[in-house]
Amino acid sequence: MIPFQCPYCGVGCGLYLDERGRVRGDRSHPANFGDLCKKPLYFPGVLRKGRVPRPLFREDKGSDFREIDWEEAYLILSEKLRVLSPDEVYFYVSGQLLTEDIYVINKFVKGFLKTNNIDANSRLCMATPATAYRMAFGSDGVPCTYEDVDDADVFLFIGSNAAISHPVLFKRVLKRRKGGAFVVTIDPVRTETAEMSDHFIQIRAGTDTVLLNSVLYVLHRRGQVDTEFIERYTEGFEEALKEAEKFPPEVASRVCGVGVEDILLLADLFAEGRKVISFWCQGLNQSLNGVMKNLALINLHLATGRLNGRGCPFSLTGQPNAMGGREVGYLSHGLPGYRDVRNREDREFMERFWGTSGIRGDPGPTITEAVDLILEGRIKLLWVVGTNPAVSLPDLNRVEEALEKVFLVVQDPYFNDTSAFANLILPASQLGEKKGVMTGSDRTLTLCEPFSVPFSESKPDWKIFSELAEVMGFGKAFSYGSPEEIFEEFKKTTEGRICDISNLHYSDLPARWGGRWLYGDLRFPTPSGRARFHPAVFDFPAGESEFVLITGRLKNQWHTMTRTGKSPELLKGEVPPFVLMNPEDCGEIGVEEGDRVRIVSKRGSVERVVRFGNVKRGHIFAPFGYPREFGEPTNLVLTGRVDPFSKEPDLKFEPVKVVKI
Ligand code: SF4
**Span(s) in the chain for CATH 3.40.50.740:** 43-125+320-512
User: What are the backbone angles phi and psi of residue 118, rounded to the nearest 5°?
Assistant: -145, 140
Query: How far is ligand 1, taken at its centre, from the CA of residue 12, in Å?
Result: 6
Residue % of the chain over a pLDDT of 90: 97
Query: How far is ligand 1, taken at its centre, from the CA of residue 251, in Å?
Result: 40
User: Residues 92, 109: contact at Cβ < 8 Å?
Assistant: no
Q: Would you say residue 640 has pLDDT above 90?
A: no
What is the number of the ligand 1 atom nearest to the C-alpha of 38?
3
Extract the runs of DSSP E, i.e. beta strands, from 527-588. Answer: 531-532, 547-552, 578-581
Query: How far is ligand 1, taken at its centre, from the CA of residue 440, in Å?
Result: 10
Mean pLDDT of 202-206: 97
Query: How far is ligand 1, taken at its centre, from the CA of residue 169, in Å?
Result: 8
- Determine if the peptide bond prior to 510 is cis (ω within 30°): yes
User: What are the backbone angles phi and psi of residue 507, rounded to the nearest 5°?
Assistant: -70, -15
31 lines ligand 1 (CB under 6 A): no
User: Residues 429, 412: contact at Cβ < 8 Å?
Assistant: no
547-660 fold: Barwin-like endoglucanases (2.40.40)
Whole-angstrom Cα distance, residue 237 to residue 242?
Answer: 9
For position 543, what pLDDT does the model report?
Answer: 72
Residue-wise pLDDT for 428-470, tens only, equals 999 999 999 999 999 999 999 999 999 999 999 999 999 999 9
Q: Would you say residue 33 has pLDDT above 80?
A: yes
Residue-wise pLDDT for 117-171, tens only, equals 999 999 999 999 999 999 999 998 899 999 999 999 999 999 999 999 999 999 9
The CATH class given to the 127-315 domain equals alpha beta
User: By alpha-carbon position, which residue is closest to atom 3 of ligand 1?
Assistant: 37
**Span(s) in the chain for CATH 2.40.40.20:** 547-660
Query: How far is ligand 1, taken at its centre, from the CA of residue 9, in Å?
Result: 5
The H or E element that residue 619 is part of is strand 619-623
What is the number of the ligand 1 atom nearest to the C-alpha of 5?
7
For position 361, what pLDDT does the model report?
Answer: 97
Taking Cα atoms as reference points, which of 22, 44, 43, 25 lies closest to residue 35? 25
pLDDT band at 1 (very low <50, low <70, confident <90, very high): confident
Mean pLDDT, the chain, as a whole number? 96
For 37, 203, 262, the CA distances from 195, given in Å and listed in that order, are 19, 15, 17
**Ligand 1 pocket check: which of 22, 29, 37, 558 to mutate, most ligand atoms within 8 Å of Cβ?**
37
Query: How far is ligand 1, taken at its centre, from the CA of residue 135, in Å?
Result: 29
**Span(s) in the chain for CATH 3.40.228.10:** 127-315
Whole-angstrom Cα distance, residue 164 to residue 145?
Answer: 20
For position 544, what pLDDT does the model report?
Answer: 79
User: By alpha-carbon position, which residue is closest to atom 2 of ligand 1?
Assistant: 9
Residue-wise pLDDT for 64-76, tens only, equals 999 999 999 999 9
13 lines ligand 1 (CB under 6 A): yes
For position 541, what pLDDT does the model report?
Answer: 76
25 lines ligand 1 (CB under 6 A): no
Mean pLDDT of 244-264: 98
431 lines ligand 1 (CB under 6 A): no
For 287, 294, 395, 553, the CA distances from 283, given in Å and listed in that order, are 7, 10, 19, 11
User: Residues 236, 527: contact at Cβ < 8 Å?
Assistant: no
For position 298, what pLDDT does the model report?
Answer: 98
Residue-wise pLDDT for 492-531, tens only, equals 999 999 999 999 999 999 999 999 999 999 999 999 999 9
43-125+320-512 fold: Rossmann fold (3.40.50)
- End-to-end CA, the chain: 53
608 lines ligand 1 (CB under 6 A): no
Dihedral sign, Cα of residue 468, residue 470, residue 475, residue 480 = positive
User: What are the backbone angles phi and psi of residue 149, rounded to the nearest 5°?
Assistant: -65, -35
What is the number of the ligand 1 atom nearest to the C-alpha of 39?
8
Those residues with Cβ within 8 angstroms of residue 168's Cβ, 6 or more apart along the chain or in another chain: 11, 13, 31, 32, 35, 36, 37
Query: How far is ligand 1, taken at its centre, from the CA of residue 36, in Å?
Result: 6
570 lines ligand 1 (CB under 6 A): no
SS3 475: helix
Whole-angstrom Cα distance, residue 316 to residue 457?
Answer: 35
User: By alpha-carbon position, which residue is closest to atom 1 of ligand 1?
Assistant: 6
b/e code 424-435 from CB counts within 10 Å (16+ = b)? bbbbbbbbbbbb
Q: Would you say residue 313 has pLDDT above 90?
A: yes
Query: How far is ligand 1, taken at its centre, from the CA of residue 40, in Å?
Result: 7
Q: Would you say residue 540 has pLDDT above 90?
A: no
What is the number of the ligand 1 atom nearest to the C-alpha of 37?
3
User: By alpha-carbon position, which residue is closest to atom 4 of ligand 1?
Assistant: 13
For residue 61, the number of C-alpha atoms closer than 13 Å in the C-beta half-sphere is: 16
- pTM equals 0.96
